[in-house]
Amino acid sequence: EVVLTQSPATLSLSPGERATLSCRASQSVSDYLAWYQQKPGQAPRLLIYDASSRATGIPARFRGSGSATDFTLTITSLEPEDFAVYYCQQRANWPITFGQGTRLEIK
């Protein structure tokens, strides 16, 4: 099973700042990595799939990068609605697994 380790666990930033979230895989997942955003009481929302492709309707400030074992989600300029929990997910190896999440909070 591929273990995805996200860092940091919590990130405290202000609106307008740049956020950089990391996801590291225990073995190569090629570019088969997705990112989700989850707000309290809501279902996860797909942001990025296959490492760098934005899902439908996702603003351009969300950027995914990386390959193999190291991936990054960058939010170039934080908007108030971006403060949430972010999860990565791999689909390269069975079973599908998720990271433990990074909480992005307002500083």
Partner 1 sequence: QLRLQESRPGLVKPSETLSLTCAVSGASITRSTYYWAWMRQPPGKGLEWIGTISYSGTAYYSPSLKSRVTISVDTSKTQFSLKLSAVTAADTAVYYCARGVNKYSWFDSWGQGALLTVSS
Question: Which x/- pattern over 76-95 shows residues binding partner 1 (rule: CB under 8 A)?
Answer: -----------x-x-xx-xx
Interacting residues of 100 by C-beta distance below 8 A, sequence separation 6+? 4, 5, 6, 9, 87
φ, ψ of residue 52 to 5 degrees: the values are -140, 0
Residue 62 lies near partner 1 (rule: CB under 8 A): no
Question: Residue 17 or 40: which CB sits closer to partner 1?
Answer: 40
Shortest gap between Cβ of 91 and partner 1 (angstroms)?
4
- Cα 54 to Cα 2, 10, 35, 64, 98: the distances in Å are 23, 23, 9, 8, 18
Shortest gap between Cβ of 55 and partner 1 (angstroms)?
6
Residue 45 lies near partner 1 (rule: CB under 8 A): yes
Q: How many residues bind partner 1 (CB under 8 A)?
A: 25
Residue 63 lies near partner 1 (rule: CB under 8 A): no
The residues binding partner 1 (CB under 8 A) are 1, 32, 34, 36, 42-46, 49-50, 55-56, 87, 89, 91-92, 94-101
